[in-house]
């Protein structure tokens, strides 16, 4: 188990992005990167697989749309037809324009909320979970690249020093 | 530097000639007397599929006539006017559609300039090429309006003094809706838009060889000013040139609605023209990232159009006030196919085709969606103008097809020849580098 890590800390997202690209080119294995905010293009630089959250979002939207049709049909047509402004109250399709705002809202509602929940589950985040980031500054203004080392510490350090680095820490984490 | 190939030239001229033939046939087959109109309607009852649908309708109209007032037109005279309007309305729909593409492109271009956008300078010359059609296209629309004002047709019934005399609603609007003011406004709008186009193009070309950014800054200020001017005049233009065809009816978001149609067709044409120019070896610096952005705009503005269309429809449908709701009743009864067809083509299909991020980078997907959007927005203009101009006597036949061919030929010829007049790359633009290495 590699439990010795180099923590390369940067103070700017552009510097981080350049450094990650440089290290990748040098063949350094990067385990993880901690940033205070999503850095545009970092996923591509790290070579992560493209996200599938948008496909999930589309499916959730379809579920919301279907649910809205079912709900409005049950409430306004089947269970308790109401005459609002003299609109036909016994036919879903003839009353449909009045339901469009609800269809739209529920589509967006389902898509957005289920996407957030999916994201939390996928990232293994839940309430009262202990933070995983090595130093608390990565929630403020520092960017940290975590690189596992096993014997090749000096070589990696010299490669990191070529980037626009703020500081390098070597830490041992007990499993 | 782009050169006009013979192929494009022949193709556009062929379209113009065929279109002219179609237009001429339209005028030839239009009735010149009420008797002829009666014959046309009678014969179309037998051989025309869609004609049967207005059997009931025309009987209904006759019923009204029995107790109609003395000054109201008889049913036959009404049909005669509609049939006589048809070739004119066909030309007007096509003329306005292609004119609005160049006007929307001008607005999109001004937005890029005013926002100092970094992604788009590589496409500036493409947009400037499309706006080359603004002045000729606008003049043609003005000439058609002038013909209406001279009573060659009855598309704008408020232009008929006899109608105004008996119609209190139009009479009350005559301070605004009168022929001299109407034409003067049209000239004013077109002059303002063309002036911006002329100056902006001049600064844009001057910037190519300039040592400083002064031309770019001038263009920035001018574009911001133009956008303010455009917002007001575009809205008024849509009231004047389209909404006044139904002089009793009005919608407060009509200007926006026309704008949505305009901007989405323009961005589509920019995308299609860019793809075409790339395919014959120009614009080598334009890449998938730029196409992705254009496709995002196509997707976004299609949804925006649907939003405005529905906002307009739902309020009128829900309130159900007779003066307002007639507008949609004519369209729902007599124009079912184009009315629902355009909803599918302008919203549902572009939404489903372009929602996937990867599809926005595939040229053939953009072209497919683009063709659907353009046909859909032609139908949108058709639905705005035809129901009031020709009523239930509409058909997409030779006059309409001829007009579309004529104006598309003219559009292609003028746009491509204005593309030849300047290098296709705005080489002096301060954001050129940013545009080249742009990643979406």
Query: Is A84 domain-assigned?
Result: yes
Distance CA B194, CA B410 (A): 18
Tell me, yes or no, whether A32 and A60 share the same domain. no
Over 70: is that where the pLDDT of B55 sits? no
B92-130: pLDDT as tens digits: 999 999 999 999 999 999 999 999 999 999 999 999 999
Per-residue pLDDT averaged across B180-184, rounded?
95
Q: Considering the domain boundaries, does residue A68 fall inside one?
A: yes
Q: What is the pLDDT of residues A15-64, one digit of tens each?
A: 999 999 999 888 888 988 999 999 988 988 898 888 899 999 999 999 99
Residue B60 tokens, joined: 């209904």
Could A85 and B439 be called an inter-chain contact, meaning their C-beta atoms sit closer than 8 Å? no
* Number of helical H runs and strand E runs in chain B: 18, 0
- Predicted pLDDT of residue A2: 54
Chain mean pLDDT for chain B: 89
Q: How many domains does chain A have?
A: 2
Q: How confident is the model over A63-75, as a mean pLDDT?
A: 95
Residue B53: band (very low, low, confident or very high) from pLDDT cuts 50, 70, 90 = very low
- Residue A10 is classified by DSSP as E
**What is the ipTM metric for this complex?**
0.81
Out of B313, B355, B439, name the one closest to residue A97 (CB). B313
Task: With cut-offs at 50, 70 and 90, classify the pLDDT of residue B37.
Answer: confident
Contact call for A87 and B318, based on CB within 8 A: yes
- Cβ–Cβ contact A104 with B under 8 A: no
Sign of the dihedral through C-alpha B76, B77, B83, B89: negative
How confident is the model at residue B57, as a pLDDT?
44
Size of interface A-B (CB pairs under 8 A): 18
Q: What is the mean pLDDT of residues B286-313?
A: 94
Same domain, A116 and A147: no
Examine residue A48 and state whether it is found in any structural domain, yes or no.
Answer: no
Indicate if the pLDDT at residue A75 is higher than 50.
yes
A42 domain-assigned: no
**In the prediction, which pLDDT does B111 show?**
96
- Tell me if A127 is assigned to some domain: no
Same domain flag for A115 and A152: no
pLDDT in tens, B362-409: 999 999 999 999 999 999 999 999 998 888 888 888 999 999 999 999
Residues A3-17 have pLDDT tens digits of 788 899 999 988 999
Tokens of B87: 């070739």
pLDDT (average), residues B45-65: 43
Q: Which residues of A touch B357 (CB under 8 A)?
A: 54
**pLDDT beyond 80 at B42:** no
pLDDT of residue B146: 95
User: What is the pLDDT confidence band of residue B52, given thresholds at 50, 70 and 90?
Assistant: very low
pLDDT at B64 over 70: no
Instruction: Indicate whether A67 and A108 sit together in one domain.
Output: yes
Nearest CB partner across the interface for B318, out of A54, A58, A98: A98
Global pTM value: 0.87
Identify the pLDDT of residue B99. 96
Q: What is the pLDDT of residue A40?
A: 87
Sign of CA dihedral B86, B87, B92, B94: positive
Together in a domain, A102 and A65: yes
For chain B, percent of residues with pLDDT exceeding 90: 66
* Residue B355 confidence (pLDDT) above 70: yes
A166 and A117 within one domain: no
Compute CA distances A63 → A69, A104, A114, A116, B107, whole Å: 10, 12, 10, 15, 38
Judged by a CB distance cut-off of 8 A, whether residue A98 touches chain B is yes
Q: A51 — contact with chain B (CB < 8 Å)?
A: no
For residues B363 and B295, what is the distance between their CA atoms, to the nearest angstrom?
10
Rounded CA separation B179/B159 (Å): 7
User: Which pLDDT value is given to residue A107?
Assistant: 96
Cβ-based contacts of A43 with chain B (< 8 Å):
none
Structure tokens that stand for A174 in this block: 């007990």
Report the residue of A14, A40, A52, A97 to disrupt the B interface, i.e. the one with the largest count of B CBs within 10 Å.
Answer: A97
- Collect all residues of chain B within an 8 Å Cβ-Cβ radius of residue A41: 439
Q: Are residues A30 and A57 in the same domain?
A: no
From the CA of A83, how many Å to the nearest CA of chain B? 12
Work out the average pLDDT over A121-131. 88
Residue B45 contacts by C-beta under 8 Å, 6 or more apart in sequence?
Answer: B51, B52, B55
Same domain, A57 and A118: yes
Average pLDDT over residues A146-154: 84
CA-to-CA distance for B240 and A151, rounded, in angstroms?
A: 79
**CATH code: domain of residue A161:** 3.30.70.260
Distance CA B311, CA A56 (A): 29
Q: What is the strand order of the sheet A32-34 is part of?
A: A32-34, A143-149, A4-10, A167-172
- Residue A43 resides in a domain: no
B67: pLDDT strictly greater than 70: no
Q: How confident is the model at residue B50 (pLDDT cuts 50, 70, 90)?
A: very low
* A130 domain-assigned: no
Q: Are residues A63 and A112 in the same domain?
A: yes
Helical spans, DSSP H, in chain A: 13-25, 42-46, 53-72, 92-122, 153-161
Instruction: Please give the C-alpha separations between residue B354 and each of A72, B263, B265, B362, in angstroms, as whole numbers.
Output: 29, 17, 15, 10
A117 lies in the same domain as A148: no
Q: Which pLDDT value is given to residue B73? A: 61
Mutant choice from B299, B306, B310, B353 vs A, greatest count of A C-beta within 10 A = B310
Q: Which range of residues forms the domain containing residue A114?
A: 53-122
Name the pLDDT band for B60 (thresholds 50, 70, 90). very low
Average pLDDT over residues B320-328: 90
The verdict on A106 and A162 lying in the same domain is: no
Closest-CA residue of A relative to B303 is A104
Under an 8 A CB cutoff, do B314 and A85 touch?
A: no
The runs of H, that is alpha helices, within B156-287 are 161-166, 168-173, 179-208, 214-241, 254-279
Q: Do A26 and A62 reside in the same domain of the chain?
A: no
Beta-carbon separation of B357 and A54 below 8 A: yes
Which of A85, A94, A103, A111 to mutate against chain B (most B CBs within 10 Å)?
A85
In a domain, A153, yes or no: yes
B302-315 pLDDT, tens digit each:
999 999 999 999 99
Please write the tens of the pLDDT for every residue from B259-274: 999 999 999 999 999 9
pLDDT for the residue A175: 57
d(CA B223, CA B201): 11
Q: Which two tokens stand for residue A157?
A: 């350090």
Using a CB-CB cut-off of 8 Å, the residues of chain A touching B318 are 85, 87, 97-98
Say whether residue B439 is in contact with chain A using an 8 A CB cutoff: yes
Task: Say if B340 is an interface residue toward chain A (CB within 8 Å).
Answer: no
Average pLDDT value for residue range B346-356: 94
């Amino acid at each position: 188990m590699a439990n010795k890590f180099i923590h390369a800390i940067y103070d700017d997202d552009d510097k981080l992005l350049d450094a990650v690209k440089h290290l990748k080119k040098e063949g350094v294995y990067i385990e993880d990167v901690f940033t205070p905010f999503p850095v545009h293009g970092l996923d591509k630089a790290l070579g992560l697989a493209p996200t599938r959250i948008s496909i999930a979002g589309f499916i959730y939207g379809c579920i919301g749309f279907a649910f809205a049709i079912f709900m409005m049909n049950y409430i306004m047509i089947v269970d308790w037809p109401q005459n609002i402004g003299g609109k036909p109250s016994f036919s879903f399709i003839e009353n449909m324009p009045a339901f469009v705002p609800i269809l739209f809202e529920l589509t967006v509602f389902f898509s957005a909320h289920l996407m957030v929940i999916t994201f939390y589950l996928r990232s293994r985040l839940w309430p009262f979970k202990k933070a995983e980031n090595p130093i608390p500054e990565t929630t403020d203004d520092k960017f940290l690249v975590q690189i596992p080392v096993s014997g090749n510490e000096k070589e990696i350090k010299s490669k990191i020093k070529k980037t626009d680095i703020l500081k390098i820490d070597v830490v041992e984490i007990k499993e | 530097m782009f050169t006009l190939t013979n192929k494009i030239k022949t193709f556009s001229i062929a379209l113009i000639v065929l279109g002219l033939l179609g237009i001429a046939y339209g005028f030839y087959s239009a009735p010149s007397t009420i008797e002829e109109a009666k014959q046309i309607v009678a014969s179309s009852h037998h051989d025309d599929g869609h004609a049967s649908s207005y059997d009931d309708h025309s009987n209904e109209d006759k019923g009204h006539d029995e107790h109609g007032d003395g000054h109201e037109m008889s049913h036959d005279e009404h049909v005669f006017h509609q049939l006589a309007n048809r070739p004119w309305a066909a030309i007007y729909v096509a003329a306005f559609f292609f004119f609005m593409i160049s006007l929307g492109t001008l607005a999109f271009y001004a937005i890029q300039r005013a926002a100092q956008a970094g992604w788009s300078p590589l496409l500036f010359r493409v947009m400037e090429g499309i706006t080359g059609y603004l002045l000729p296209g606008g003049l043609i629309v003005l000439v058609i309006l002038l013909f209406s004002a001279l009573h060659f047709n009855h598309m704008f019934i408020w232009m008929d003094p006899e109608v105004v005399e008996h119609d209190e609603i139009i009479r009350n609007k005559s301070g605004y809706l009168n022929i001299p003011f109407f034409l003067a406004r049209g000239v004013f709008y077109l002059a303002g838009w063309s002036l911006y186009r002329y100056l902006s193009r001049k600064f844009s070309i001057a910037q190519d060889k300039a040592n400083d950014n002064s031309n770019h800054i001038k263009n920035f200020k001018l574009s911001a000013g133009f956008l303010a001017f455009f917002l007001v005049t575009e809205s008024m233009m849509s009231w004047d040139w389209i909404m006044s065809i139904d002089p009793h009816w009005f919608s407060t978001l009509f200007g926006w609605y026309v704008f949505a149609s305009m901007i989405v067709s323009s961005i589509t044409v920019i995308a299609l023209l860019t793809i075409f120019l790339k395919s014959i070896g120009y614009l080598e610096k334009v890449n998938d990232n730029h196409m992705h952005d254009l496709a995002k705009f196509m997707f976004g503005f299609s949804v925006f159009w649907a939003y405005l269309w529905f906002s307009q429809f739902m309020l009128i449908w829900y309130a159900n006030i007779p003066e307002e709701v007639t507008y949609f009743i004519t369209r729902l009864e007599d124009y079912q196919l184009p009315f629902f067809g355009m909803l599918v083509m302008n919203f549902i299909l572009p939404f489903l085709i372009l929602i996937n991020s990867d599809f926005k980078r595939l040229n053939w997907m953009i072209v497919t969606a683009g063709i659907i959007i353009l046909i859909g927005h032609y139908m949108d203009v058709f639905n705005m103008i035809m129901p009031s101009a020709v009523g239930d006597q509409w058909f997409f036949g030779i006059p309409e097809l001829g007009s579309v061919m004529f104006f598309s030929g003219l559009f292609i010829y003028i746009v491509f020849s204005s593309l030849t007049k300047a290098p296709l790359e705005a080489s002096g633009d301060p954001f050129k580098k940013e545009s080249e290495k742009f990643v979406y």
